[in-house]
Amino acid sequence: MPATPTSLIAETLSLLDRFGVDKDRHLAGTLTSRSPVTGETLAARSPVTGETLTQVREAGAVEAAQVIDQAHQAFLQWRLVPAPRRGELLRLFGEVLRSHKAALGRLVSIEAGKIISEGLGEVQEMIDICDFAVGLSRQLHGLTIATERAEHRMMETWHPLGVTGIISAFNFPVAVWAWNAALALVAGNAVVWKPSEKTPLTALAVDALFARAMERFRADGGTAPEGLSGLLIGGRAVGEMLVDHRHVPLVSATGSTAMGRAVGPRLASRFARAILELGGNNAAIVAPTADLDLALRGIAFAAMGTAGQRCTSLRRLFIHDSLYDSFVPRLKQAYATVPVGNPLVESSLVGPLIDRQAFEAQQAALADAVAAGGVLSGGGRVESGFGPDAYYVRPALVEIAGQHGPVEKETFAPILYVMRYSDFDAALTQHNAVPQGLSSSIFTNDIREAETFLSVRGSDCGIANVNIGPSGAEIGGAFGGEKETGGGRESGSDAWKAYMRRATNTVNYGRTLPLAQGVRFDI
């Protein structure tokens, strides 16, 4: 049954109640909102139907400054809580998320247009990073280093940094916040979040759920200072306040390369740190020995999944000459038949584009690709039954001779540029010849090719996979990319170090004062 617009509004409001969102405080323009609205509001819409669900209050400059100041005060207390106790807060948050997984996943699907299993998967990713953070809370350790001086000890200690600003994008409206927040909080930082203007409701939901974890933590005797996790709903202006605030020593920003170009230099100008996770233009190579059934599935998920709106989505495909003519028709068949439609219906695999702007960018890229000699299959608008403001498209496959024009850019839509190759080294060169460097993969059973792809002269990306598409990373690894992708690393491995500052400590436990490098200074 297609969801009707009215039922989506009603369902969304009842979901917000379930999470404990204070609707009177945050929403305007719904029948349930009693308080008069002051200040600016933001339309929260669903790409599923194109309908405006409600209006959300934006934070003004005064409120934004208060939220950041309060987070700073909270940090001053939170840093004193032992790290394993801080981990306990994340453990409780993971429990709250587990018990709200279905509801939050559903809201992600409603607000971001993800299919049901991807909405749920996103909440699972939040739960996973909470678990990771609990373990990490007992492993924030530094090294002990051999010193050249007798009766000395040298070691390093990791300390929290302060308020961590988190700027996130619509396509992972909750998980990207969680990757950053879980690590930042366990590290002893406070967090302030500026979510995408396109997904304010999931942000309000997560904020309310985190508040529940804080309450449980306090009920167990824990110190969880008010304002430890702040939320700033709004546009560029509040984002800039976060980026420019002297009490925000680190901003982790996920979004376009254009956004990163604006944010990076501003942070650098005040010597604040940046974790930038920007555009990707991810490729895969299908080599002669590839398992083609597996490759087909991997490519289909990576290129069409999330309607091509992951930063790790597959956008360029290099297929070896020996399989090109047999494999491309199979791919085209998958493209022509993949179920596109209402993401809330279990059978759909490709949901809507986020909005009209995304649709126009998709259409413009396809027109450019055709003008550049590309041969297009698919890409047209799919009638959803939801009216003109819901933008569903058939995923597009473009066969093209070389990498120029739109092939070099990231278009946040399901467009796959397919190219033929004959020489592996030449394919590698082409693979690395775009400005972005997030994720990559090769489908091969030839160990030389696989290892070369992962080697220093192979993929130049932050993520390089074998026999798996470029998207769908687990939280255990460090996530991020090179070149115009920004160089930041989030999530697993030792990405936590970016959220902390390192102090090198030398202790003299003797009675003499030998100087390093044999320097003499006898007074």
Minimum distance of ligand UN1 from residue 168's CB (angstroms): 8
Cβ at position 310, least distance to ligand UN1 in Å: 4
Residue 52: how many CA atoms within 13 Å on its side-chain side? Answer: 10
Minimum distance of ligand UN1 from residue 312's CB (angstroms): 4
Contacts of 76 (CB under 8 A, 6+ apart): none
Single residue of 136, 176, 274, 295 touching ligand UN1 by CB under 6 A = 176
Query: For residues 137 and 471, which CB has a smaller minimum distance to ligand UN1 in the complex?
Result: 471
CB closer to ligand UN1, 13 vs 304: 304
Which of these is catalytic: 277, 449, 484, 490?
277
Residues ≥6 apart with Cβ < 8 Å to 174: 104, 108, 122, 123, 126, 202, 203, 205, 206
Q: Which stretch binds ligand UN1 (CB under 6 A): 7-15, 192-200, 262-270, 310-318?
A: 310-318
Q: Select 5 or 462, whichever has its Cβ closest to ligand UN1.
A: 462
Total residues contacting ligand UN1 (rule CB under 6 A)? 10
399 is catalytic: no
* CA gap 219, 211 in Å, rounded: 12
CB 439 within 8 A of CB 463: yes
Q: Which of residues 249 and 486 has its CB atom nearest to ligand UN1 in the complex?
A: 486
Query: Taking CB under 6 A as the rule, does residue 341 contact ligand UN1?
Result: no
Selecting among 51, 111, 130, 311, the annotated active-site residue is 311
Residue from 78, 93, 132, 172 that binds ligand UN1 (CB under 6 A)? 172
Residue 188 DSSP SS3: coil
Residue placing its CB nearer to ligand UN1 in the complex, 124 or 377: 124
CA distances from 491 to 169, 181, 190, 417 (A): 16, 10, 17, 29
Shortest distance in whole angstroms from residue 355 CB to ligand UN1: 17
> Is 310 an interacting residue with respect to ligand UN1 (CB under 6 A)?
yes
Among positions 70, 257, 312, 452, the unique one binding ligand UN1 when judged by CB under 6 A: 312
* CA dist., res. 130 & res. 151, Å (int): 41
Closest approach, Cβ 371 to ligand UN1, in A, equals 28
According to the binding rule CB under 6 A, does residue 49 interact with ligand UN1? no
Closer to ligand UN1 at the Cβ: 410 or 460? 410
430 Cβ neighbours under 8 A, 6+ residues apart: 318, 403, 419, 421
Segment contacting ligand UN1 by CB under 6 A, of 186-194, 261-269, 441-449, 466-474: 466-474
Q: Which stretch binds ligand UN1 (CB under 6 A): 244-252, 318-326, 355-363, 465-473?
A: 465-473
Q: Give the distance, in angstroms, between the CA of residue 302 and the centroid of all CA atoms in the same chain.
A: 15
Residue 472 binds ligand UN1 (CB under 6 A): yes
Binding part of the chain for ligand UN1, among 110-118, 140-148, 169-177, 238-246 by CB under 6 A, reads 169-177
Q: What's the closest the beta carbon of residue 180 comes to ligand UN1, in angstroms?
A: 11
User: Does the footprint of ligand UN1 cover residue 471 (CB under 6 A)?
Assistant: yes
Encoding tokens for residue 48? 């599923």
For ligand UN1, the closer of residues 249 and 472 by Cβ is 472
Assess 254 for contact with ligand UN1 (CB under 6 A). Answer: yes
CB 162 within 8 A of CB 471: no
Q: DSSP 3-state assignment of 73?
A: helix
484 is catalytic: no
Contact assessment for residue 350 and residue 387, using Cβ atoms and an 8 Å cutoff: no
315 belongs to the binding site for ligand UN1 (CB under 6 A): no
Binding window for ligand UN1 (CB under 6 A); candidates: 99-107, 470-478, 500-508, 512-520: 470-478
Question: Judged by CB, which is closer to ligand UN1: 444, or 471?
Answer: 471
113 lies in the binding site for ligand UN1 (CB under 6 A)? no
Q: Provide the β-strand partners of residue 440.
A: 283, 464
**Separation of alpha carbons 419 and 437, rounded Å:** 19
Report in angstroms how near the CB of residue 358 gets to ligand UN1 at its nearest. Answer: 14
Q: Which is nearer to ligand UN1, 8 or 97 (CB)?
A: 97
Residue of minimal Cβ distance to ligand UN1: 473
Angle of helix 200-219 versus helix 101-112 axis, rounded to 10: 160
Count of other CB atoms within 10 angstroms of residue 20:
15
Q: Which of residues 116-135 bind ligand UN1 (CB under 6 A)?
A: none
Could you list the beta-strand ranges (E) of 13-83: 27-28, 41-45, 52-57
Strand-pairing partners, residue 27, are 56
72: CB partners within 8 A, 6+ apart: 162, 163, 190, 247
Residue 417 as a binder of ligand UN1 (CB under 6 A): the answer is no
Enter the tokens of residue 28: 């305007």
Residues ≥6 apart with Cβ < 8 Å to 153: 144, 147, 506, 507, 509
On whether the CB atoms of residues 252 and 165 are closer than 8 A, the answer is: yes
The token duo for 146 is 């051999």
Should residue 171 be labelled a site residue for ligand UN1 when binding is judged by CB under 6 A? yes
Residue 311 binds to ligand UN1 (criterion: CB under 6 A):
yes
Place of tokens 């749920």: 120
Cβ nearer to ligand UN1, comparing 124 with 508: 124
Judged by the rule CB under 6 A, the positions of this chain that interact with ligand UN1 are 171-172, 176, 254, 310-312, 471-473
Q: Which residues are the active-site residues?
A: 277, 311
